[in-house]
A and B are shown apart, each in its own frame.
Chain A
């Protein structure tokens, strides 16, 4: 179910929040509106946690994680790290890494099985990611953009890349990630998907500017619709009809 929300009048939800299947982090805002939206949706399933990283509230772009772990940059203070360790469930491993590219949310895109990292990250970071998150790591760009966390967003169900990605790239990525991919936009035609929305397997949050068309694309690719909606939409559009076909693994 895709929900529209805004953080203090900004449509860039993915900047201020980080959402996985096991937890949700939100930045600290002036009012609790943003937090309460997440709380309303998610609190019965997963913990929703206030956090800052290095005193900054753009936690969505500085941390990266999945249900097994969370990686924080070296800018996170000890106090914040401690707070995260306390708040998160024990199954989630919190690890601080030393990395030159410290905006881990931009640099790493991961679901529970596979991760893409910026091609310029260190070898140790790649090892840590593989270790902490328990995923297979690929160094890859997304349609020419190196900031994989910004220009793509994928979960265990599906994924979305920015609109200028070529067909060959999408195919390649899709085979790597083993999820269906689609090129789309969010927040009324914005290319930056990672900053514009947060998604997990059962929920999605995007900015207030997101149009209905974009919402429908998001819901269909990330499989957030109910059966009813799915049936209805299937009739209307052949947009993602090709993705209904079973995955054929061609390597």
Chain B
């Protein structure tokens, strides 16, 4: 008795819906050409009213009904209309196509840089521009954002605008605008020059409580609009602020006009270091110079051009952090005014003056200086470091000065603290005392000195105030500061010491060269035999420095020499090109990484000496054991002298092969100088030498004067740690000992330095 409500079978219904809808659809079909709506799902199953308990377990097959409008067989839904009839009730295409404000939907692009303007809601003033490929996903997202009907975020004003225009076109049944959800979107190709984008959307909405999904295509217009970056490029006269960075050479030290010129010329070279440092810092950081439009270089500095004052001020404050400079002076110039709008067009200038001092400069601190500079008042000072603050060191620290300057110490002490000799000046301090700090000399006037002796001064024994402060000597130790200061070696960079130096030009040539005793902060860095660079104040020509009581303290003794730094070997090797000798020695040094026989006089002298001593010890130990074992016929105490002879011969031979006559002479001179140094350092050696000489004269056997001399030299080097007693029999044991020791001199020949 099956009485079916409909003849069509359920399975083919979905197909039949589409086909029949396309054939019978006649309402509003013209507008949506490709609109085929689908109602989901295809095979509904009804949930029964759980009213009658007997009916719960039965299975239910749905029946189809004719659509009440068009008569096609459909599955029942909330509206009991087929999808086409439902879709035709709403003109989706015209709704979606509508732009904000009722017009077209527009996407803006910059003609110059071809970037697209990003969507930012109602306010389009500060929109950013982004480069996008045509028919790319980013561009698709941008287009979807522009469509008000499907946009997720919408300001209330937009909604009102939109819904007001929309509701007028709506059919009477649904009074509220349905919400469109995007299911799918893809591009429809358009000719690029048509300036149109076509997007094919699949939207889902619900009408009469029935969800409907529909495909619709939207057309967006592409219009040109200049982006702000291109706008800025195109207009002339765009900069509104400039930062003028200057570092003038420091003023002359004396009032004498004659000397001014000479001093000015001298000061010019050293004063550009601050600019160079800043230039490097700016070049490394791209973020800092992001807003700089242009950079000009002038005689004493740079000009940086910016678009507005805020950017210029940010740049200026960054520079202030890097290098001490005067407070930025700002001035502005009126370009034009707009009386009606009460606005003005200004151009601003920020003046940044760097502190003219640079590292290793010598300055004179007037005794009338105030504030934080009290420590070094009335003294000469050395500029140690120019970073965010200016660090000055006392040029010649002395005990008297310390407790005269420091007001805190009540009881006179004889200790000299390094921390009392260091003063840090911030930029404002410096400029407050600017006229009291007078530049004297810059580092291009450094002269070379040879260090003869270094004696560390006794600083306080207690606690950490001696030279065991971390990093900079004299800075209070970590007990007072809470910041982590890193691992500490226990040895500070600077230590006060009394150093005896002699001018390098005088050294060796003038036996009566004056040796100068200097108290300096380089105690840890200098050793006897080093070359130190410093200011030779005694021999400086040029002006009075107001050495009278006007600027310096009465008790301040102007030092003859102010040591600044030690000369390092690396620089010396790199810089010396003229000497073949040096080149050879460079090569040898690179290869063997050991001491050289001749040439570079200052190459690891200490190391050479130490090694020599060690070798000598070894040799002597070997000889002794050999003697004990009876290898050596001579017996008795092992002699040191023969071996130097052998080495000497070898040395001389090799030396002759390698060197020119000139360099040989040079070497001799070097030898002499070194020898003299040694003599100075070691009076015991001098004694031994004397004995040797006497012995030699007494022996008066064979060896030539040169040999004697060489003997003396080498023996001098060898006998520094010798423990042998007799030196009388020199030659014979040498010959006897020759064979067994032949190997040794050869090996030693490599090692024995040519410092002699």
Which residues of A are at the interface with B, using a C-beta cutoff of 8 A? 119, 141, 143-146, 163-171, 174-175, 180-185, 188-191, 211-214, 216-217, 237-239, 241-243, 247-250
B69 / chain A contacts, CB cutoff of 8 Å: 188-189, 211, 213
21 intermolecular pairs with C-beta atoms under 8 Å apart = A119-B51, A141-B51, A143-B46, A144-B55, A163-B80, A167-B4, A167-B62, A168-B60, A171-B2, A183-B65, A183-B76, A184-B65, A185-B80, A189-B79, A213-B68, A216-B71, A237-B71, A238-B7, A239-B6, A248-B1, A249-B1
C-alpha gap A21/B70 in the complex (Å): 32
CB distance from B77 to the nearest CB of A (A): 9
A170's nearest neighbour on chain B, judged by CB, is B5
**Which 7 pairs from chain A and chain B are nearest by CB?**
A144-B49, A189-B80, A166-B60, A163-B76, A250-B1, A213-B71, A144-B48
Known contacts A141-B55, A213-B68, A241 near B7 by CB under 8 Å: yes
By CB atoms of chain A within 10 A, which of B58, B60, B70 has the most?
Answer: B60
Residue of B nearest to A120 (CB): B51
Residues of A within 8 A of B61 (CB): 166-168
Please, which residue of chain B has its CB at the minimum distance from the CB of A189?
B80
Distance A216 CA – B66 CA, assembled complex (angstroms): 10
A241 proximity list for chain B (CB < 8 A): 7
Query: CB-nearest residue of chain A relative to B51?
Result: A146
Chain B contact surface mostly: loop
Q: Taking A164-B76, A174-B1 as contacts, is the C-beta distance between A185 and B65 under 8 angstroms?
A: yes
Bound complex: CA of A249 vs CA of B697, how far in Å?
158
Our pick among B4, B51, B52, B65 for the contact of A163 (Cβ within 8 Å) is B65
Not counting A170-B5, A213-B66, A237-B71, a sample of 11 additional A-B residue pairs whose C-beta atoms are within 8 angstroms of each other reads A143-B49, A144-B46, A144-B55, A145-B51, A146-B51, A167-B4, A168-B61, A174-B3, A184-B66, A189-B80, A191-B80
Shortest Cβ gap from B62 to chain A (Å): 6
Q: Which residue in chain A gives the minimum CB-CB distance to B76?
A: A163
Query: What chain B residues lie within 8 Å of A184 (beta carbons)?
Result: 65-66
B365 within 8 A of partner (CB)? no
Interface string of B6-27 (1 = CB under 8 A from A): 1100000000000000000000
Question: Which residues from 27 to 86 on chain B have a C-beta closer than 8 Å to any C-beta of chain A?
Answer: 46-49, 51-52, 55, 58-63, 65-71, 76, 79-81
Which of B4, B5, B49, B52 has most chain A Cβ within 10 Å?
B5
Report the nearest A residue to B3, measured CB to CB: A174
A217 proximity list for chain B (CB < 8 A): 66
Residue from B6, B51, B58, B80 within 8 A of A168 (CB atoms): B58
Chain A neighbourhood of B55, CB < 8 A:
141, 144
Whether A166 lies near B3 (C-beta < 8 A) is no
**Are A165 and B7 in contact, with the CB atoms below 8 A?**
no
Asked whether, in the complex, the Cβ of A214 is within 8 Å of the Cβ of B68, the reply is yes
Closest to B10 in A: A167
Chain A residue at minimum C-beta to C-beta distance from B59? A168
Separation in Å of the B66 CB from the closest CB of chain A?
5
Least Cβ–Cβ distance between B187 and chain A, in angstroms? 38
- Residues of chain B with a CB closer than 8 A to A183's CB: 5, 63, 65, 76
Residue among B2, B67, B81 with most chain A CB within 10 A: B2
B residues within 8 A CB of A182? 5
Bound-complex Cα distance A216 to B65 (A): 13
| Candidates B3, B46, B52, B59; contact of A180 at CB < 8 Å | B3
Taking a contact as CB atoms under 8 Å apart, the answer to whether B80 and A242 are in contact is no
Cross-chain pair count, CB within 8 angstroms: 103
The residues of A that contact B62 with a CB separation of less than 8 Å are 164, 166-167
**C-alpha gap A179/B96 in the complex (Å):** 50
Most buried by A among B6, B62, B63, B81: B63
Q: Determine the distance from Cα of A169 to Cα of B63 in the docked complex, in whole angstroms.
A: 10
Q: How large is the interface on B (under 10, 10 to 19, 20 to 34, 35 or more residues)?
A: 20 to 34
Residues in B with CB closer than 8 Å to A216 are 71
Q: Nearest-CB distance from A114 to chain B (Å)?
A: 16
Nearest Cβ distance between residue A234 and chain B, in whole angstroms? 13
- B68 and A141 form a contact (CB under 8 A): no
Considering the chains assembled together, what is the distance between the CA atoms of A145 and B49 in angstroms? Answer: 6
Docked-complex contact B63 and A167, CB < 8 angstroms:
yes
Contact at B63–A171, with CB atoms within 8 Å? no
Residues of A within 8 A of B66 (CB): 184, 213-214, 217, 239
Task: Report the Cα distance A155→B63, complex, angstroms.
Answer: 21
Residues of A within 8 A of B60 (CB): 166-169
* Across-interface contacts of A214 in B (CB, < 8 A): 66, 68
Q: How far is the CB of B392 from chain A (nearest CB, A)?
A: 97
Q: Which residue of A lies closest to B69 (CB)?
A: A211
In angstroms, Cα B48 to Cα A249, docked, is 26
- Closest chain-A Cβ to B252's Cβ sits at a distance in Å of 105
* A146-B51, A184-B66, A213-B67 given; A164·B4 CB < 8 A: no
Whether the pair B3, A243 counts as a contact (CB closer than 8 A) is: yes
B177-200: which have CB < 8 Å to A?
none
**A169 neighbours in B (Cβ, 8 Å):** 60
- Contacts A141-B55, A170-B5, A242-B4 hold; do A165 and B70 have CB atoms under 8 A apart? no
Q: How far is the CA of A157 from the CA of B716 in the complex (A)?
A: 145
Identify the interface centre among A164, A180, A250: most chain B CB within 10 Å of its CB: A164
CA distance A141 to B56 in the complex (A): 12
Residue of B nearest to A139 (CB): B52
Q: In the complex, what residues of B have CB within 8 A of residue A170's CB?
A: 3, 5, 63
- Min distance, Cβ A241 to any Cβ of chain B, angstroms: 6
Contact A213 B63 (CB under 8 A): no
In residues 649-691 of chain B, which contact A (Cβ within 8 Å)? Answer: none
Docked complex Cα distance between A105 and B7 (Å): 32
Query: B70 to chain A: which residues have CB within 8 Å?
Result: 213
Q: Which A residue's beta carbon lies closest to that of B71? A: A213
Answer whether A141 and B49 are a contact pair too, CB < 8 Å, given A166-B60, A168-B61. yes
Nearest-neighbour CB distance to chain A for B200, whole angstroms, equals 31
Which residues of chain B have C-beta atoms less than 8 A from A185's C-beta? 65, 68, 80
Q: Which residue of B lies closest to A213 (CB)?
A: B71
A247 to B62, CA, bound (A): 22
Q: Please report the C-alpha to C-alpha distance between residue A144 and residue B284 in the assembled complex, in whole angstroms.
A: 80
Give every chain A residue within 8 A of B65 (Cβ-Cβ): 163, 183-185
From A145, A211, A237, A238, give the contact of B68 (CB < 8 A).
A211
Identify the closest chain B residue to A179 (Cβ): B3
Minimum CB–CB distance for B82 against chain A, Å: 10
Instruction: List B contacts of A213 (CB < 8 A).
Output: 66-71
Question: In the complex, what's the smallest C-beta–C-beta distance from B67 to chain A, in angstroms?
Answer: 7
Complex CA gap A68/B422 in Å reads 126
**What is the minimal beta-carbon distance from B21 to any residue of chain A, in angstroms?**
14
Cα distance, A66 to B60, chains bound together (Å): 32
> Given the complex, which residues of B lie within 8 Å of A164, measured CB to CB?
46, 62, 76
Report the nearest B residue to A185, measured CB to CB. Answer: B80
Q: Determine how close the nearest CB of chain B comes to the CB of A215; give it in whole angstroms.
A: 10
Q: What separation, in Å, do the CA atoms of A169 and B61 have in the docked complex?
A: 9
CA distance A235 to B4 in the complex (A): 19
Q: Which residues of B contact A247 (CB under 8 A)?
A: 1
Known: A144-B49, A238-B7. A165 touches B63 (CB 8 A): yes
Assembled-state Cα–Cα distance A146/B59 (Å): 18
A165, A216, A249: which has the most chain B beta carbons within 10 Å?
Answer: A165
Say how far B541's CB is from chain A's closest CB, in angstroms. Answer: 115
**What residue in chain A is nearest B52 (Cβ atoms)?**
A141
Closest A-chain residue to B1, C-beta based? A250
Residues on the B chain within 8 Å of A174, using CB: 1, 3
**Residue numbers in B under 8 Å from A141 (CB-CB):** 49, 51-52, 55
Q: In the complex the two chains form, what is the Cα distance from A174 to B4 in whole Å?
A: 10
* Chain A residues within 8 Å of B58, by CB: 168
Q: Complex: how many Å from CA A184 to CA B51?
A: 22
CB nearest neighbor in A for B210:
A189
Chain B, Cβ-Cβ closest to A249: B1
Inter-chain contact B1/A242, CB cutoff 8 Å: no
In the complex, how many angstroms separate the beta carbon of A56 from the nearest chain B beta carbon?
A: 27
Determine how close the nearest CB of chain B comes to the CB of A158; give it in whole angstroms.
10
Tell me which of A188, A239, A242 contacts B3 (CB under 8 A): A242
* A223–B59 CA distance with the chains assembled, in angstroms: 31
Q: Name A167's closest neighbour in chain B (CB-CB).
A: B61
Residue of B nearest to A190 (CB): B80
